[in-house]
Structure 1
Amino acid sequence: MEKCIGCELCAWACPADAIYVEGADNTEEARYSPGERYGRVYQINYLRCIGCGLCIEACPTRALTMTNDYEMADDNRADLIYEKDRLLARCCPK
């Protein structure tokens, strides 16, 4: 299960407008998070991110983390806009 409940508080807290969240309702047939909602669309634009950490403080479920393990260099700007599949922690490493 995902930790994100689609509340969009991280997006509201971001002063650089680097986060976009589109929440959706969980159903009994398809449950993605422990809450009533989940983040159906989740993007972080690392071209805009200033690394302030306000999004992490705003998240009520601690779905976001910030580490020193990153590299923000790329030859394609589109590759620095992370979609949900690149942001989710791996549950079952290979």
Structure 2
Amino acid sequence: MSEPEITRESGPAKGRYVLVQSGEEAELTFSIVSPTKIIADHTGVPDALRGTGAGRQLVEALVADARSRGFTIIALCPFVKSLAARHPEWQDVFV
């Protein structure tokens, strides 16, 4: 299995993190509220990548970006919200 690559795509109002592994694409989409706040609104993982940790890797990339770029995250996506609840060490970036 090939090593996944995560990229960040961002426009003026929306963006997404994309993980490509074995020809499959998983994504975490977000809406930009302000320069210091985004809303994580959806995580989509194809059946072929379920159980591989793809969704978690996308959330980890989001958390790392929030810390390095200085923004906070509103978790509307149920998957992101449930992971954030299980990781108290991430609470510095979730509102």
- TM-score tier by shorter-chain length is 0.3 to 0.5
Q: Greater relative contact order (Cα 8 A, min sep 6): structure 1 or 2?
A: 1
User: What's the TM-score once normalised by structure 2's chain length?
Assistant: 0.35
User: What's the TM-score once normalised by structure 1's chain length?
Assistant: 0.35
Structure number with higher helix proportion: 2
Q: Which has the larger radius of gyration?
A: 1
Structure number with higher strand proportion: 2
